Amino acid sequence: MSDRITIIGAGAWGSALAKLTQINGYEPTIWSRNCGEDLPDTIIDRVAIIAAVSMSGVRAVIAQLEGSIESHQIIVTATKGLDAQTNLTPAQLWKNSFPDNPIVVLSGPNLSLEIKQGLPAATVVASDNADAATKIQEIFSSPKFRVYTNDDPVGVEIAGTVKNAIAIAAGTCDGLQLGNNAKSALLTRGLAEIIRIGQYWGGKPETFYGLSGLGDLLTTCNSPLSRNYQVGYGLAQGKTLTEVLADLQGTAEGINTTKVLIQIADRNQIYMPIVVLVDRLLQGQITAPEAIIALMSRDRKSEY
């Protein structure tokens, strides 16, 4: 098997992943819509195909690769989001189109800018195929990037996806300067919502306390480098969502994720009060201060 891989997506995340693979001597080919090459040509004789595109681009990429991927090639999804049309996760979309291929989910507390700067970090690679997860662990592991394997790809993927909605709330909290007490309460109750919907999806409870759950939540909700955090922070400053997005570099997946989560939560009666208020805030139905008042004035209840 070759030591070459293909990374789909030339943004900050795709570039960071490419840099990590080079440390171990792998030869990454980075493909983007504007590179001038046909995508199927770039995956020939590749040990792994790593998709680092935004959620809106996943189905288009899959369509281009229909009939081109060999069954032994490992497909790695590094996208955090939910498909607005089907409500499926990226891994589910890939698996539907390539049922014979091993699918690996890569997710964790990974800010691309810090990784490109060579700062230490850790992540999780999860798959139903242990050999595929181990191979991707080998490709990415280095003294500055610790990679753990996991056998709960659904839990890992949902944890990394849902936390983007909570990150918008966290940015709002900081934008309103509500303090550490409020922020800690928000993150703790946000984690409860992640676990609630994650278990509905079939994720294992322990996954949500690991790197792809609590770890990713803490990073995304506390860093101005997070685009989802920036959205919430901007809304708290009184900007409209249109104004916030005009200044944003890249895609804030939490916006679309929130819309899909609301549909799923409503349909299955899953209690997600923070996500509901984030959705109303994004739609301009309430202001950031009104969202906080609504959150704090809910009925009294037991913590568990």
Catalytic site residues? 163
Residues 6+ apart with CB under 8 A from 38: none
Amino acid at 23: I
8 A C-beta contact, residue 36 and residue 81? no
Residue written as tokens 């753990």?
Answer: 148
Helix runs in the chain, H state only: 12-23, 39-42, 55-65, 90-97, 112-116, 130-140, 153-175, 180-201, 216-222, 227-236, 241-246, 253-268, 273-282, 288-296
Residue written as tokens 């922070």?
Answer: 233
Q: Cα separation of 110 and 16, whole Å? A: 10
8 A C-beta contact, residue 9 and residue 34? no
Determine the longest span between alpha carbons in the chain, in angstroms: 59
